[in-house]
Amino acid sequence: MAVAILGAVLTAGYCFALVFGLARGRGPATAEAAQAHDPGLSLLWGPGLLAGLALALGFFPDAIAGNLVNSAASTANAGHTQTVHLALWHGLTPALGVSAAAFACGLAIWALWWQRHTPEAPVLIADKVYDALLSGLETGSRRLTDAYMSGLLWRYTMAPLGLIAAGLIAVLTIEDLSAPVPWPARAPGPGEIVVGLGIATAAFGTVIAKTRIAAILSLGATGFLLALQFSLLGAPDLALTQLMVETASVAMFLAVFVFLPQYAPPSERVARPAHLALATVFGLTMVAVLYIVRGHRHAESISKYFVENSVPAAGGHNIVNVILVDFRALDTMGEVTVLGVAALACYAIIKLGREVRS
| Rounded-to-integer distance, Cα 116 and Cα 108, Å | 12
66 lies in a domain? Answer: yes
pLDDT in tens, the chain (358 residues): 788 888 888 888 878 887 777 766 655 566 666 677 777 788 888 888 998 888 888 888 888 787 887 788 777 776 677 777 777 777 788 888 888 888 899 888 888 877 777 666 666 788 888 989 999 999 999 888 887 777 777 778 888 898 999 998 888 888 777 766 566 566 778 888 899 899 999 988 888 887 788 888 898 999 999 999 988 888 887 888 788 888 878 877 877 776 676 665 555 445 578 888 888 899 899 988 888 877 777 777 777 888 888 888 878 788 878 887 888 888 888 878 877 887 787 777 777 766 666 6
- Domain range for residue 7? 2-23+47-120
Residues 6+ apart with CB under 8 A from 88: 58, 59, 61
Largest CA distance in the chain: 103
- Please state the domain count of the chain: 1
| Secondary structure (DSSP) of 94-124 | HHHHHHHHHHHHHHHHIIIIITT--PPPP--
Q: What are phi and psi of 190, to 5 degrees?
A: -60, -40
**Is residue 116 situated within a structural domain?**
yes
Range list of β-strands (E), the chain: none
Does residue 18 lie in a domain region?
yes
Is 70 within the bounds of a domain? yes
pLDDT at 124: 72
Instruction: Report if residue 83 sits inside a domain.
Output: yes
Give domain status of residue 161, yes or no: no
**Assessment of whether the complete model's pTM goes beyond 0.95:** no
In a domain, 82, yes or no: yes
pLDDT digits (tens, 9 = 90+) for 180-207: 656 656 677 888 889 989 999 998 888 8
Confidence at residue 268, expressed as pLDDT on a 0 to 100 scale: 47
Q: Is residue 115 part of a domain?
A: yes
Q: Are 298 and 184 in contact (CB under 8 A)?
A: no
CA 349, chain centre distance (Å): 33
